[in-house]
Amino acid sequence: MKAIVFDVDGTLIESMAVDTELYFASIKSVLGPVNIREHLSEYDNVTDSGILAQIIDDNEIVPSDGLVESIQALFVEGIRNYIQSVGPFPAIDGAVQAFENARRSDKAAVAIATGGWRESALLKLDTAGFNLDGVPVASGDDSPSRVEIMQTALSRLGNDFESVTYFGDAEWDQRACQVLGWSFVAVGPDLGGIKSFEHICP
């Protein structure tokens, strides 16, 4: 039995640009005109919770009760409004069928490990047509660390696998796999990855 773990944004669905824009808009709406680093890669933990924690620290903000929850709620509302006005985020070519094939396979166990917050990730995946029935999901709600999120996803599968393969689209996904000793499959153009999931998963 092998484990297959998927990232979400930029890996299963084409959402990175809009997701990032709505994320930072939500932060600025609550925190005001805070300083944002130029590139995502400049943050120690490129996850929704990790970036927010570092923005709060960079701008010397004393977090109040409910601050993170307020930003999360505004972000999810932005995702919902976008879906209602524009439509679901498109799935990467072949991703829905490949995910379903892997989910139903008796040779593999499937999990989601996303740096995004759980509610927004589930909303995007659901409206894009992914069936998550029985699929463990680890997210930025579980930890600001991508490595820890990925470890959590695997632990929820049971950990007893002959191999673990992670599908991701960014350099931080690749680095996390190197730390964990997992096989890595790049998706999308940033790392010269696959353009389609056809024939990729069991």
Tens of pLDDT, residue by residue, the chain (202 residues): 899 999 999 999 998 889 999 999 999 999 999 999 999 999 999 999 999 999 999 999 988 889 999 999 999 999 999 999 999 999 999 999 999 999 999 899 999 999 999 999 999 999 999 999 999 999 999 999 999 999 999 999 987 899 999 999 999 999 999 999 999 999 999 899 999 998 776 5
Q: Which DSSP letter does residue 170 get? A: S
Q: Report the pLDDT value the prediction gives residue 191, as an integer from 0 to 100.
A: 92
Q: Which residue has the tokens 């166990």?
A: 109
- Nearest Cα neighbor of 12 from 146, 181, 197, 198 is 197
C-alpha 166/C-alpha 59 separation (Å) is 34
C-alpha 191/C-alpha 60 separation (Å) is 34
pTM: 0.93
The CATH topology of domain 2-15+89-186 is: Rossmann fold (3.40.50)
DSSP conformation letters of 100-166: HHHHH-SSEEEEEE-SS-HHHHHHHHHHTT---TT--EE-TTT-S-HHHHHHHHHHHHTS--SEEEE
In the sheet that holds 108-113, the strands lie side by side as 137-138, 108-113, 2-6, 163-168, 183-186
Q: Report the pLDDT value the prediction gives residue 15, as an integer from 0 to 100.
A: 87
Q: Report the pLDDT value the prediction gives residue 201, as an integer from 0 to 100.
A: 60
Report the greatest alpha carbon distance in the chain.
Answer: 51
- Paired strand residues for 2: 108, 163
